Amino acid sequence: MPRREKREGICFIEDKRERGITFSKRRDGLYKMACDLSVLTGVRVAVVLEMESGIMHSFGTPSAAPIVEAFLSGGPLVEPLADEATNARIRMLQGEVARLDMESVTHEKRAELSLEHIKNIQDENPGIVPNFIFSKEEDLSLEDLNKLFNELLWVREDIRR
C-alpha cells in the first residue's frame, strides 16, 4: 500500500473515513502516552474523548471513573476498593505492558529492516535463486524447487573449490 504524502501542518480532515482512521490511531497513541506517564511517575491518569457522533471513549489508570468523579466534585480521589497489594500488582502489570509494547515496536522495526534487506538482496541479484530462497515452500512448484536445489548444489561445489 503506498504511503500518503506528509501533511504540511495540522488541519481539519474533511474525509470522514480518513478522520475516523486518524482518530483511532491518535486515540491509541494518546492512551499509550497516558499509560506510560502513569507507569513512569505513578500518577493516576484519566482521558475522556467525545466523538462527533457523541460516542464517548475513556481511559484511566487504574480506572477513569473515580478520577473523573473526583475532578468534577472537586473533592479528594476516593480510593477504589483495592488493597495495596492489588495496586502494586496493577502497577507491575502496567509496567510489563509498557515493556512488551516497546519490545513489540522493536520487533516490528527489525522485521521491517529484514524485509528491506531481503528486497535489496533480490534487487542486487536479479536471478531466480534469491527469489526462491525468500519464497515460502508452498509457493514454489516442483520445477522451481529442482532449480533451487541445483543452484544450491552448484554454490556448494563452487565453495569447495
Cell of residue 119, nine digits: 528486497
Residues in CB range of 57: below 8 A, 6 or more apart: 27, 48, 49, 50, 51
**Mean pLDDT value across the chain:** 79
pLDDT bucket at 82, cuts 50 / 70 / 90: low
- Helix, strand, or coil (residue 30): helix
What is the C-alpha end-to-end distance of the chain, expressed in Å?
Answer: 45
pLDDT of residue 145: 76
| pLDDT of res. 138 | 63
Segment 57-83 shows an average pLDDT of 79
Q: Model confidence over 9-45: pLDDT tens digits?
A: 888 989 888 888 888 889 988 988 988 888 888 888 9
